[in-house]
Chains A and B, each alone.
Chain A
Amino acid sequence: MAKTYDYLFKLLLIGDSGVGKTCVLFRFSEDAFNTTFISTIGIDFKIRTIDLDGKKIKLQIWDTAGQERFRTITTAYYRGAMGIMLVYDITNEKSFENIKNWIRNIEENASADVEKMLLGNKCELEEKRQVSKERGEQLAVEYGIKFIETSAKASIRVEDAFFTLARDIKTKMEKKLEASNPPKGGHKLTPTEPMKKPTSWLSRCTLL
């Protein structure tokens, strides 16, 4: 079977509960908005393949599964992540302040060269705004990462955000590939792997 994409990127969403991580994910993956999922039940990750400079890039975007609520995100969640969207809610000061804690968490658990990006979500709620755009920008500069204000509900710049993050990862990766680092990796266990009973020991040995 031919591959239908050139690269596969694992992305994570991180941020306080209620900032709209799942909504951002749904807006991007399904172009839909739904306020009914209360705390991310049953949502594991979503996939969308995008075209970027002639390459097909498959984005596998993981949600926190509610484990951000009591700060119990597993270290396993961060494994192999190439990009992280740090999300806060512009109408919630606390969620903005907590970005620093989340960054510390990422530094402790994610790979050192993971691409990060800061999202100020719910920008359609201008009248309830508690965090100015300037403060968002400033924080992003402090950490040397990109920043964008989005609205999952009104579908504002969510595409932009993911395309930007994906492009940055792609650039970094291609640079690395040029430096000829063969990718390492383990086996993913999938049901498509043939489960037939092994042929006998004898038949595997052509020597005899």
Chain B
Amino acid sequence: MDNTLPTEFDIIIIGTGLVESIISAAASRIGKRVLHVDTNDYYGGTWASFNLKSLQEQGTKPNEKQFENERCLQIGNDVFSIQDFSEKWHIIEHNEKENVTQTPEDNEKQLVETFEDKVTIQDESKEAKPNVNETKENSFSRDSLLNNSRKFNIDLVPKLHFARGEFVQLLISSNIARYAEYRSVSRVLTWVNNTLEVVPCSRSDVFANNRVSVIEKRMLMKLLTSLDEDDDNYKDNQDKTFLEFLKEKKLTPNLIHFVLYAIARSTDTTSCSEGIASTKRFLNSLGRFGKTPFLFSMYGSGETTQAFCRLSAVFGGIFALDRAQVGLMIEDDKVTKVFCQGQEICAEHFVLGAEKIPKLYTEHLKVNSYISRAVFITESSVMPSEQEHLTLFMYPAENGKPIVTVLELGSLTGTCPKNLFLVHLTAKQTTTPQEDFKHIIDNLFQFNDQSTEDIRKPKILWSCYFSLPETNSSDLKGTNHPPNLFVADGPDLDLDYDLTIKKAKDIFKQIYPGDEFLPRAPDPEEIIFGGEENEKENVEVTDTLQKDTTSLNDNN
């Protein structure tokens, strides 16, 4: 295959994180010639999703190799990449039942088959006699999980989308929605008085919830309705915390908990205006898809960056991944070219993902805060139910620990095999990921290999911890880089992509101030290639296709 790239572009983007990918799509969409390069052989950078094996490899990956070229500044730094990665198995290597003498292919096939059989057996035995100890023999092994490695899509940065949030609106208005599929979060949980509770956020939840009395329901409705409709009410409350505000409304402790910690994702010190804004954001997205305000991207959040890259490619953007040697060539304080595997490629503007900034610019940079992350593979849900749930679980801040967002994903999300769950924990880092989440594990989970057994708690089969630097613009502005070089931020702590879109839009507007940001892409049937030889046919074709359009929408 000819690996040579064209050598002239309007804009070169290095890194396939979400901010970079949105800029790529937006520039390509308005007709700019885009080259989009990554040193990784996968899309997404620090926003990627991995299968189980590739995620494990993240821990052992060597740093990007240095290469010798005096004329350019090699890209890549250690400051904004994944930090403190560690992973651990809590199950045996392989089951004795599994015949290891078979050829690897046969073995794999058989394992995949037995994998699901086994689980059914296990479930049945659990129901019949809950105290069985022989489950050990029937349980999962590393081999069985690794043979299903591809069925895992594990996000570095799991995100949810408010059904009427900016991200969903952008997907629809730009027509990028056709590249992705979403599932709605089916329940929101919180931790109150040492138990898990379902947060009532739809009518049926309110009905089902017997922990909320009829009077409380009325109080809750009254509050939420007033928050939703009345803006002036809160000017008097500017100096208060949201907690004080809720207490003044004479809500019961139970209700305060739901509104403050789960619906508004706030802490005891969150200001009233912030709390109200978060509550509104939640309420505004109710009743569009499913029972909760949230959607989750099928096959993981990493698919989102790819959807934007696809749009960029459809409009002519050229993609080159797995390019080991990439550097910036600078003349008179401006980036003039990108050095890419022996080629010198020019462009007017350059965009870099935060983790691609050359070391020279990050030397004096301090990362002010990190995101703590943990991922568990478990064999049951935190709150088992007949149907598979997609669960958002807000764990309130307590005893100096941060608010933790827990996302439990089942196989219907396309991110893990049947009968297993993927649990994502995310929080603003206070100490280390292990410390930040320890209390949650103590309260809700157990490691499969620990000595004491509690049948109510899901067992963790595999665990993984890491930290992600929380970049923010003030950090990056201090880097003193050339003016035609734009730095795209990495992951942030927002539940959705609102901040990300804003950052991408800001950079796009700086580069192309007069142009529209991601106007609607035409539907395929609207594109008519007016060749002389087929002009007549086009009329017919458009006609028949119109019928199809309605059915497409209908289907959806």
- Residues on A lying within 8 angstroms of B by beta carbon are 1-5, 8, 16, 26, 29-34, 36-37, 39, 41-47, 49, 58, 65-67, 69-72, 74-77, 79-80, 98, 108, 184-193, 195, 197-202, 204-208
Contact present for B228 and A67 (CB under 8 Å): no
What are 16 residue pairs bridging A and B, where the CB atoms are less than 8 Å apart in the complex? A2-B554, A34-B533, A36-B529, A44-B314, A47-B525, A47-B545, A65-B314, A66-B318, A77-B306, A186-B182, A186-B298, A187-B182, A187-B183, A187-B295, A198-B164, A198-B287
Which residues, 275 to 312 on B, are CB-close (under 8 Å) to A? 283-290, 295, 298-299, 303, 306-307, 309-310
B524: chain A residues at CB < 8 Å are 43-47
Q: A3-B554, A71-B1, A200-B229 given as contacts; is B181 within 8 A of A41 (CB)?
A: no
Does B121 reach chain A (CB closer than 8 Å)? no
Nearest CB of A to B433, in Å? 27
Tell me the complex Cα distance, A195–B178, Å: 18
Nearest CB of A to B195, in Å? 24
Contact present for B529 and A37 (CB under 8 Å): yes
Contact present for B286 and A32 (CB under 8 Å): no
A195: chain B residues at CB < 8 Å are 164
Does B548 reach chain A (CB closer than 8 Å)? yes
Does B555 reach chain A (CB closer than 8 Å)? yes
Contact present for B309 and A74 (CB under 8 Å): yes
Contact present for A58 and B299 (CB under 8 Å): no
Among residues of A, the one whose C-beta sits closest to the C-beta of B323 is: A70
Tell me the complex Cα distance, A30–B286, Å: 42
Q: Which 9 A-B pairs have the closest CB atoms?
A: A32-B534, A186-B181, A74-B306, A189-B177, A72-B319, A188-B556, A65-B313, A76-B306, A4-B551
Does B150 reach chain A (CB closer than 8 Å)? yes
Interface SS of chain A: helix, strand, loop or mixed?
Answer: loop
Does B493 reach chain A (CB closer than 8 Å)? no
Does B443 reach chain A (CB closer than 8 Å)? no
A77: chain B residues at CB < 8 Å are 306, 310
B289: chain A residues at CB < 8 Å are 187
A8: chain B residues at CB < 8 Å are 555
Nearest CB of B to A48, in Å? 8
Known: A3-B551, A39-B316, A66-B313. 7 other contacts (CB 8 A): A3-B555, A26-B529, A36-B529, A201-B224, A205-B217, A207-B203, A207-B206
Which residue of the partner chain, among B168, B307, B534, contacts A30 with CB atoms under 8 Å?
B534
Nearest CB of B to A192, in Å? 5
Contact present for B537 and A31 (CB under 8 Å): yes
Tell me the complex Cα distance, A8–B553, Å: 12
Tell me the complex Cα distance, A74–B310, Å: 8
- Indicate with 1 or 0, residue by residue over B219-257, a CB within 8 angstroms of chain A CB atoms: 001101100110000000000000000000000000000
Count of A-B residue pairs with CB < 8 Å: 191
A202: chain B residues at CB < 8 Å are 221-222, 224-225
Does B531 reach chain A (CB closer than 8 Å)? yes
B126: chain A residues at CB < 8 Å are none
Nearest CB of B to A41, in Å? 5
Size of the chain B interface, CB-CB below 8 angstroms: 79
Nearest CB of A to B253, in Å? 21
Does B321 reach chain A (CB closer than 8 Å)? yes
Nearest CB of A to B224, in Å? 4
Does B547 reach chain A (CB closer than 8 Å)? yes
Which residues, 396 to 424 on B, are CB-close (under 8 Å) to A? 412, 414
Tell me the complex Cα distance, A76–B43, Å: 10
Contact present for A69 and B529 (CB under 8 Å): no
Contact present for B283 and A201 (CB under 8 Å): yes
Which residues, 186 to 242 on B, are CB-close (under 8 Å) to A? 202-203, 206-207, 214, 217-218, 221-222, 224-225, 228-229
Nearest CB of B to A144, in Å? 14
Tell me the complex Cα distance, A197–B163, Å: 12
Q: A43-B527, A204-B203 given as contacts; is B177 within 8 A of A188 (CB)?
A: yes
Nearest CB of A to B313, in Å? 4
Among residues of A, the one whose C-beta sits closest to the C-beta of B223 is: A201
Among residues of A, the one whose C-beta sits closest to the C-beta of B303 is: A76
B320: chain A residues at CB < 8 Å are 70, 72
Contact present for A188 and B181 (CB under 8 Å): yes
Contact present for B533 and A32 (CB under 8 Å): yes
Among residues of A, the one whose C-beta sits closest to the C-beta of B180 is: A76
B286: chain A residues at CB < 8 Å are 198, 201, 204
A189: chain B residues at CB < 8 Å are 168, 171-172, 177, 180, 182
Contact present for A1 and B318 (CB under 8 Å): no
Q: A47-B524, A186-B183 given as contacts; is B177 within 8 A of A76 (CB)?
A: no
Contact present for B221 and A70 (CB under 8 Å): no
Contact present for B206 and A205 (CB under 8 Å): yes
Q: Specify which of A71, A108, A198 lies most central, judged by the most chain B CB atoms within 10 Å of its CB.
A: A198
Contact present for A201 and B548 (CB under 8 Å): no
Contact present for B319 and A67 (CB under 8 Å): yes
Nearest CB of A to B378, in Å? 21
Which residues, 314 to 342 on B, are CB-close (under 8 Å) to A? 314-316, 318-321
Contact present for A36 and B316 (CB under 8 Å): no
Nearest CB of B to A52, in Å? 16
A80: chain B residues at CB < 8 Å are 181
